[in-house]
Amino acid sequence: MNQSINNEKHTVLLTGATGFLGKHLGAKLYENPDFSVKAAVRKYAKDLSIPQSDQCLINDINSETKWEAALKGCDRAVHMAARVHVMKEDASYPLAEFRRINVDGTLNLARQAADQGIKRFVFVSSIKVNGEKTSRGFSYTTDVPEIPKDPYGLSKYEAEEGLKEIAVNTGMEVVIIRPPMIYGPGVKGNFQRLVNLINKGYPLPLAHINNKRSFVSIYNLCDLIQCCLIHPAAANQTFLVSDNEDLSTSELLQKMAEVLEIKPHLFWFPKGVLKFSASVLGKGGEISRLVDSLQVDISDTMDKLNWKPAVNVESALKQTLRC
């Protein structure tokens, strides 16, 4: 981890500790003698690196959640718990549900954290705050081109804005991190679906897709979060993160196949026809994430924190696909 070193030991509250990111981050911090960790969980979990004696029961996260017991003794917090993007939405008003947890729940926790003397609050947001795709030769920075229209992205944006206001009013330091697609051992969602398609040998119409997308391995993201917990320059900043190795979809599939030691079955198909056909079938969003570009510029993150991704894509994919 590339960061300034201090000798102070910190006690960190983790929300979302039983999730994909939470399990990896909890294990990383628990192994570090500079940190003590408390995990906020709905029910005691045996599959965490954090023992049950350091787990604190929390019910649904919303504007009424009581955090006093969980925050007691902590001086840092990492908030990862959220209502994430839902592929098959069943809520009659999705934005209200996203706001209830991602905005109201986040700001309620942050206010109580400030009242309890938490010095630094790290919020794991999303690149969806910036948008869904980038044009050729353009990469997202921390500037937001326009207010997000996607309910999940909008809820994260509103939470970010509320946290900045709390930081100004209370003096609690807030750090915001916006990751793109995260992958690593145990990953699910879109990344795992790609792995399954390659593994089963399905022919995919994605040869010669010349887009570029930024990804971040769980190892690099956890390393950055750990850095942001203590680095002096991280206070009240927003950071983008990636592996700093952008790939086209076809390049990613080729690399996956190499690790799995199988031959991918990719064929050429007109991009425009593919996107139109997918939109007719109600799969436009899924195909866009495969054929459009989404790049992030992490030069500001690396410069301000003297940090760089420690694990390259090839190594991260090997650890992800061979676990």
pLDDT for the residue numbered 25: 98
Catalytic residue among 152, 157, 183, 219: 152
Taking residues 177-206, report their average pLDDT: 93
DSSP 98-117: HIIIIIIIHHHHHHHHHHTT
Is residue 4's pLDDT more than 50?
Answer: no
Taking residues 1-28, report their average pLDDT: 84
pLDDT for the residue numbered 323: 66
Confidence of residue 297 (pLDDT cuts 50, 70, 90): very high
Is residue 195's pLDDT more than 70?
Answer: yes
Is residue 87's pLDDT more than 60?
Answer: no
Confidence of residue 136 (pLDDT cuts 50, 70, 90): confident
**CATH class of the region 10-186+214-245:** alpha beta
Torsion sign (Cα): 203, 205, 209, 213 = negative
- Please check whether residue 287 is in contact with residue 209, taking contact to mean a CB–CB distance below 8 angstroms: no
pLDDT for the residue numbered 99: 97
Question: Nearest-CA neighbor of 251 among 292, 213, 197?
Answer: 213
pLDDT for the residue numbered 123: 98
Question: Largest Cα–Cα distance in the chain?
Answer: 58
Taking residues 101-107, report their average pLDDT: 98
pLDDT for the residue numbered 89: 57
- Each domain of the chain, given as residue ranges in start order, spans 10-186+214-245
Is residue 178's pLDDT more than 60?
Answer: yes
Average pLDDT along the chain: 93
DSSP 273-310: HHHHHHHHTT-HHHHHHHHSBB-B--HHHHHHHT---S
pLDDT for the residue numbered 129: 97
For the record, the structure tokens of 236 come out as 């009240």
pLDDT for the residue numbered 119: 98
CA distance 51 to 30: 10
Q: List beta partners, residue 35.
A: 10
Strand locations in 64-222, DSSP E? Answer: 76-79, 120-124, 173-178, 181-183, 215-217
For helices 218-230 and 20-31, angle between their N-to-C axes, nearest 10 degrees: 60
pLDDT for the residue numbered 276: 85
pLDDT for the residue numbered 88: 57
- Please check whether residue 124 is in contact with residue 21, taking contact to mean a CB–CB distance below 8 angstroms: yes
Taking residues 221-247, report their average pLDDT: 98
44: annotated active-site residue:
no
Taking residues 86-110, report their average pLDDT: 86
CA distance 137 to 250: 18
For residue 248, the one-letter residue type is S
pTM: 0.94
CA distance 322 to 241: 24
Taking residues 156-169, report their average pLDDT: 98
Question: Nearest-CA neighbor of 293 among 181, 214, 218?
Answer: 214
pLDDT for the residue numbered 90: 64
Is residue 159's pLDDT more than 50?
Answer: yes
pLDDT for the residue numbered 2: 46
Is residue 194's pLDDT more than 50?
Answer: yes
- CA–chain centroid gap for 49, Å, is 20
pLDDT digits (tens, 9 = 90+) for 49-70: 999 999 999 989 999 999 999 9
- CA–chain centroid gap for 278, Å, is 26
CA angle 131, 137, 139 (to 5 degrees): 35
CA angle 81, 82, 84 (to 5 degrees): 135
- CA–chain centroid gap for 241, Å, is 9
